Amino acid sequence: MRFGVPLPQFGPHAAEADVAARIARVATTADRLGYDVLWTAEHLILPHEITTPYPYGDRFPFPTTAPILEVVSTLSYVAALTRRIRLSSSVRVLPYRHPVVFAKELATLDVLSGGRVLVGVAAGWLTEEFAMLGVPFRERGARMDEYLDVLRILWSEERVTFRGRFVQLEEAAFFPKPIQKPHPPIWIGGGRAAFERIVRAGNGWIAAPRPTVGELARLFADYASTGLTLRRHPLALLRPRLEKHSFSSAKQLKNIPTNTPVRVAGLVTCRQHPDTAKGVIFVTLEDETGQINVVVWKKLSRKQRRPLLAARLLRVDGTLEREGDVTHLIAEHLTDYSTLIGNLDVHSRDFH
């Protein structure tokens, strides 16, 4: 079992004159005594009167006029004072800020701290805060899913191409990369939806407070069944990453005109290795409705084609071509989601 300590960077303690010394004392003591992680909390701005029901109890735990020190600044401060303890948040609301900014902050902190960042994020709950930040509350789930993908790609790929609903990146350079490979562990807070995200893209669960350990155990058992369901139906992992206007099933492809941009996803059931003379790879994807023939042409670089050589779960953006009765998808961009299948082992996840 591992133990964490909350830093006094929020609430009434954060309003006291000795807040910096208090935070330093807690951090260095926890580091010296062998605790595993320092936790911080985040709200960027609060209304004087909160009307959104508080999801974790009867009411918000401290006055809205009490300070909440900014998370990355606080963790950077204690990183310089400690040597081994991990640095995290419980939680930062990922949809509040652009994921490139978020990724840069934490990659930098990981480098400066010697690889001690533990990412703690959630989708958020406070409608007034979303409104004041200009982020549509109804989009928080979709943004959370897409931003998680962006973080993982920014932190692991040399050349970053991402074509999503909210983020568009073409051959971008993002440095520094975090010290931890392939990226710092990502823990996700919340309820059932959060647990589904953990299975798809996370490494641990940050549970909401519960009155008893027994209730928390029952909740975990209920949510863990989500992982078993996704193990049986791995294509469900990709559904939040496929916008309705661009996604097509194998069955639908037969009725779509040629030269139409489409996005498909499936399990790789067959592949032919590259024809070095022609620079072509042929891949067969399979979803619940049938098979999809994917052709990767020379216009994709060798590095862009590389995911096909080992991919098990693949998303393809491209256009349709037909030769007689055979429909081919000409790939223009590939996204390998094979690692999501590995995430299906719920028992390997971490919990807080």
Strands 313-323 and 326-336: antiparallel
Q: Closest by alpha carbon to 96, among 122, 68, 133, 128?
A: 133
281: CATH: 2.40.50.140
Region 223-249: mean pLDDT is 58
Q: Do the domain assignments include residue 347?
A: no
Total structural domains within the chain: 2
Asked if residue 280 and residue 200 are part of one domain, the reply reads no
Q: How many distinct helices (H) and strands (E) make up the chain?
A: 10, 15
User: What does the pLDDT read at residue 317?
Assistant: 80
User: What does the pLDDT read at residue 312?
Assistant: 72
Q: Do the domain assignments include residue 245?
A: no
| Average pLDDT score, the chain | 83
Asked if residue 150 and residue 33 are part of one domain, the reply reads yes
Q: Do the domain assignments include residue 244?
A: no
Asked if the model's pLDDT at residue 27 lies above 60, the reply is yes
Percentage of residues of the chain with pLDDT beyond 70: 80
Asked if residue 310 and residue 225 are part of one domain, the reply reads no
Domain hosting residue 149, numbered range: 4-232
Asked if residue 140 and residue 11 are part of one domain, the reply reads yes
What gap in Å lies between CA 38 and CA 146, rounded to an integer?
27
Question: Of the residues 232, 258, 285, which one is the last residue of a structural domain?
Answer: 232
Asked if the model's pLDDT at residue 164 lies above 80, the reply is yes
Positive or negative, the CA dihedral 121, 139, 340, 329 is negative
Band of pLDDT at residue 322, cut at 50, 70 and 90: confident
Asked if the model's pLDDT at residue 350 lies above 60, the reply is no
* 8 Å CB contact between 37 and 26: no
Asked if the model's pLDDT at residue 305 lies above 90, the reply is no
What gap in Å lies between CA 349 and CA 200, rounded to an integer?
11
Asked if residue 57 and residue 136 are part of one domain, the reply reads yes
pLDDT tens for 42-73 read 999 999 999 999 888 788 988 999 999 999 99
Q: Do the domain assignments include residue 163?
A: yes
pLDDT tens for 175-209 read 999 999 999 999 999 877 787 787 778 888 888 77
Q: Do the domain assignments include residue 74?
A: yes
Band of pLDDT at residue 245, cut at 50, 70 and 90: very low
Asked if the model's pLDDT at residue 160 lies above 70, the reply is yes
Asked if residue 321 and residue 287 are part of one domain, the reply reads yes
What gap in Å lies between CA 312 and CA 337, rounded to an integer?
8
Comparing 12-16, 92-96, 105-109, the range with the smallest average pLDDT is: 12-16
User: What does the pLDDT read at residue 234?
Assistant: 57
Question: Of the residues 180, 203, 232, which one is the last residue of a structural domain?
Answer: 232
The beta-strand segments (E) located in the chain are 4-6, 37-39, 86-87, 92-93, 119-122, 160-163, 168-172, 186-189, 204-206, 261-275, 280-287, 290-296, 313-323, 326-336, 350-351
Q: Closest by alpha carbon to 350, among 167, 169, 188, 165?
A: 188
The alpha carbon torsion through 98, 99, 105, 107 (nearest 10 deg) reads -160
119: CATH: 3.20.20.30
Q: CA of 33: how far to CAs of 9, 36, 76, in Å?
A: 20, 9, 20
Q: Which residues have CB under 8 Å from 239's CB, separation 6+?
A: none
pLDDT tens for 80-99 read 999 999 999 999 999 999 99
What letter does residue 117 receive in the DSSP assignment? B
Asked if residue 132 and residue 39 are part of one domain, the reply reads yes
